Amino acid sequence: MIKIQRSVCYGKNYDGARGPKGAQQPCCLCGIGIHAPGAYLHLHDGGGFAVTESEAMILSAAGDLGLHPIGPECIRRRPELAPYVVRTPERAR
Ligand SMILES: [Zn+2]
């Protein structure tokens, strides 16, 4: 389990030129639109934490927010999140 924080630019990105358009989904960390998400974070506890799939199984389902897309830029910028990145889109819910 790792504490995560939205970028301070989330709102600006989300509402700006790079925000999600049409069927795009916003990156859960920076708000930039992702055309075809291929990587996700499993968020917990109000979105303040990312958990691994095995951690999610033993944690209270009440705090489970499911998988949220993370963009390639945030994956590159935050190498500490690598163990938490889920790369199987069919598991998204
Ligand atoms: Zn991002």
* pLDDT tens, position by position, 8-57: 999 999 999 999 999 999 999 999 999 999 999 999 998 999 999 999 99
For 42, the domain range is 2-91
Cα 32 to ligand 1 centre (Å): 6
Cα 70 to ligand 1 centre (Å): 6
Pairing of strands 85-86, 40-44: antiparallel
Beta bridge partners, 66, equal 43
Residue-level pLDDT at 88: 73
Instruction: Convert the pLDDT of each residue in 46-61 to its tens digit.
Output: 899 999 999 999 999 9
The number of folded domains in the chain is 1
Vertex 75 angle, CA 25 and 41, to 5°: 55
Residue 90 pLDDT level (bands cut at 50, 70, 90): low
Residue-level pLDDT at 34: 96
Ligand 1 (ion): which residues have CB within 5 A? 27, 29-30, 71, 74
